[in-house]
Structure formats: structure tokens, C-alpha cells
Structure 1
Amino acid sequence: MQLYGLPLSCSLATRIALLEAGAPFEYVEVDGPTKRTLGGADYREIHPLGLVPALRTDDGQIVIENAAVLQYVADLLPAAELAPPAGSLERVRLQQWLGFIGTELHKGLFAPLFAPDVPEAVRAYALAKGTSRLDYVARHLEGREFLLDRFSVADAYLVTVLAWTLVTPIDLKQWPSLAAYARRLHARPSVAAAFHAERKLYTEELARHGKPLPAALRPRAD
């Protein structure tokens, strides 16, 4: 399999899932500003909109859209138990969380904060509305280790999205259950390995384009 991704973007969730399952894959990095792979190919020939992730299967099929890619990986590698069985109510719960994370957090909250051409009023609106969404997840995680009864692809997506708070005005300390959840998951080997690999790639990408690494992502002096 080939995973097309942009370092520290939502495609990180699929890297986490593949590492969690112990599955072999090739990571094909997409350069954000140019929409070309580091090998020089035009990524828009894979995904016309240039969005990540995209997963090329072993038989050459292309799967796109984060929720679909994550569930494909979970179903392809059932021994890892990254998703409940298809057709079960618990699978519906997983789909609910994937939909919520993708729409209410990823696109609804963080996309306006990252877009350089978004008016400040829109950013303020997204932050104000996003507070209730984070409240909702925080309440659900009180007394729980994961979103479902065990680690799933929904957790891979949520821990990816929550990491974006480091470069936004959002402080997870406002939500102790979310902060504790993020700490727990970052200690998980698959999550730690994925973030370690992509933080390095992200640093290299910024350097290619003459941009500094955000202070929150720089190694600590201690």
C-alpha cells in the first residue's frame, strides 16, 4: 500500500492506524504548497483537489476521504481490531465519531483557523462555536480511556486533530479530560512513532519553503 500524506495533517491518522496494525506501507509525501510529491509527480493526478489522505491499495485502487480510508484500513486488517464489525451498532458509533471529528472539529473548527485568507471575524466565530464541540467530546471522555470501548481509528483521527491545538489559540487545559486523553494516546507506541516521523518531515517541509518551525513544535531545551 501507498499512503499519500502531508506531514502532521489529517493523513497522520491513517499512518497511526497502519502502524497500530503493523501493516507494511510506503509513505508518499505531498508538498503542501506545490501539490507535488517529493518525487516530482503531480499529486492532483491521484486526487484532483490535492487533498490528503489518499491510499493506493495493493491492486492499484485509490481510496480517498479520511473516514473512508480509516475504515478501509480497519476492515483490511481486522486482527488489529481498529473498528467494530460492519453492521453492528458499535460500528455506527464509530462512524458517528468519524463524522463528528471530520465535520465539527477538523473542518468546522480548525480549517478556518489555518486558512490564511479567512477574515478574523470568521476565525472568532469558529473558535466560539468550537468550544461547545470540545465540551461535548470532553464530557464523553470523562472516565473513559477511548472514544469507544477500545482504541479505534476514531481515536487515531481525534488525537491527530487535537494536536493541532498546539498552533492555535485553543488550550486543552480548559478540558482536563481531553488533555489527559491526548497525553495517554501520545504515549501509545503507534501514535508516538507516527508523530515522531511526521514532525521531522514537517520541519523539513518548512525549511524547503523558508518558513520557521512554530515554537510549540520546537524541541525543549530541557
Structure 2
Amino acid sequence: MKLFYAPGACSLSPHIVACEADIDLDLCKVNLKTKQTESGGDYTEVNPKGYVPALQLEGGEVLTEGPAIVQFLAEQKPEKKLAPEHGSLEHYRVLEWLNYLSTEVHKSFVPLFWGGSDEDKAEARERIGQRFQYVEEQLAGDYLMGDDFCIADAYLFTVYNWCSMVEVDTGRWPKLKAFAERMSQREGVKKAMRAEGLL
């Protein structure tokens, strides 16, 4: 399988999950501004949406959208227990977190990364603060689902790290800070970040 990624972008989340699951992926870096792959190909021929991640499967099919990809990867190695059993309430809690992170947290960063007005950026920082405050209040254990790492933690770690790039003060979230430090020590996280040139 091949993962199309941009260093530190939301594609870091499935990359971390693959490393945690001991799934070897071929990596292909994408320039999100030019929509070119590192080999000079037109990325929109892989993913017409033009953004990462995209996971090309062995048969040539392409799966897009990070929350779908991390679930797919977790199911390839069920013995790693990176996602709760289908049908359990915990399974739906993980889906709840993935959707919240995707729609409420991730998308709030758009004006900060893609040229929003000063007013748009101020509103985005306010919204991001509110969204992470909610996460801070919900973190009761080492990870989102308690004591064990799950696929949603990879996404939370990825979007939390963006705060330092866009001047969002994280000092008000001690639980999130401890979570990020804990995550940064995981071997799968270090492996993914090294591969993307982030360490």
C-alpha cells in the first residue's frame, strides 16, 4: 500500500497508525500547493480532491479521508487493538472523536493555513481554543479512550501540533500537553515523524 502525504499534515495521523500497527507503507510526498507528487506526477489523478491523505491499496483502489483510512488500517491488524470491536459502544465513541476532530478541530485551522483575513484568523483561533478546551475537559486518562492508545489519538496529536505553527497558546491545556508528550515518546509516532522529516 502507498500513502500519499505532506509532512506534518493530517496525513501524519494514518502514517502514525500504520507504524503503530507495524504495517509497512510506501510513502509518496505531495506538494499541496502545486498538487504534484515527489516524482512529478499529477496528484489530482490519484485523489481528485487534491488534498492528503490518500491510501492506494494493493489492487490499485484509492481510499481517501483520514478517519476512514485509520479505521481501515486498524482493521488490517486487529490483534494490535488500535480500534474497539465493531458494534461496541467504544467503537462508536472512537467514531465520535474522529468526527469531532475532523469537522470541529481540523477544519477550524483552515483560515490560518490558507490565507484567511485577519478577522477570519482571529475567529479561527478563538474557535480552536474552544474546541481544544472541550478535549482538555474530556481527557480522563492517558489517551482519548482511557489508558490505551487508539486511532483517534493519532489524529488529536497531529492537529494539536499545529497550534505551535499558528500561534495558538497551548499553556492553558495541561492535560493535552501531557498527552502530546506521551504520544511523542511512542515508537510508532517517532518512526512516522522521522520518516516525514519532522524529527
TM-score bin (small chain): over 0.9
Using the aligned pairs only, state the percent identity.
38
Q: Give the deviation of 1:164 after TM superposition.
A: 0.7
* Amino acid paired to 2:144: L
Structure 2 counterparts to residues 1-222 of structure 1, below 5 A: 1-108=1-108, 110-116=109-115, 118-141=116-139, 143-149=140-146, 150-199=148-197
Q: Give the deviation of 1:68 after TM superposition.
A: 0.6
Whole-angstrom CA distance in 2 between matches of 1:129 and 1:31: 28
Could you tell me which runs of 5 or more consecutive residues in structure 1 were left unpaired when the two chains were aligned.
201-218
Q: Give the deviation of 1:131 after TM superposition.
A: 1.7
Counterpart secondary structure, 1:145: coil
Whole-angstrom CA distance in 2 between matches of 1:26 and 1:92: 30
Whole-angstrom CA distance in 2 between matches of 1:184 and 1:171: 19
Whole-angstrom CA distance in 2 between matches of 1:171 and 1:94: 26
Whole-angstrom CA distance in 2 between matches of 1:32 and 1:40: 13
What CA deviation, in whole Å up to 9, does each residue of 1:137-193 have, x standing for no partner? 00111x410101321110011101111111111122111111111111001111122
Whole-angstrom CA distance in 2 between matches of 1:33 and 1:114: 12
Whole-angstrom CA distance in 2 between matches of 1:92 and 1:67: 13
Structure 1 residue ranges (4+ consecutive) displaced by more than 6 angstroms after TM superposition: none
Q: Give the stretch that moved more between structures: 191-200 or 2-11.
A: 191-200
Using CA pairs under 8 Å that are at least 6 residues apart, name the structure with larger relative contact order, 1 or 2.
2
* Amino acid paired to 1:97: W
> TM-score when scaled to structure 2?
0.95
Whole-angstrom CA distance in 2 between matches of 1:46 and 1:173: 40
The two structures, once aligned, show a CA RMSD in angstroms of: 1.3
The count of residues paired between Structure 1 and Structure 2 equals 198
Whole-angstrom CA distance in 2 between matches of 1:127 and 1:33: 23
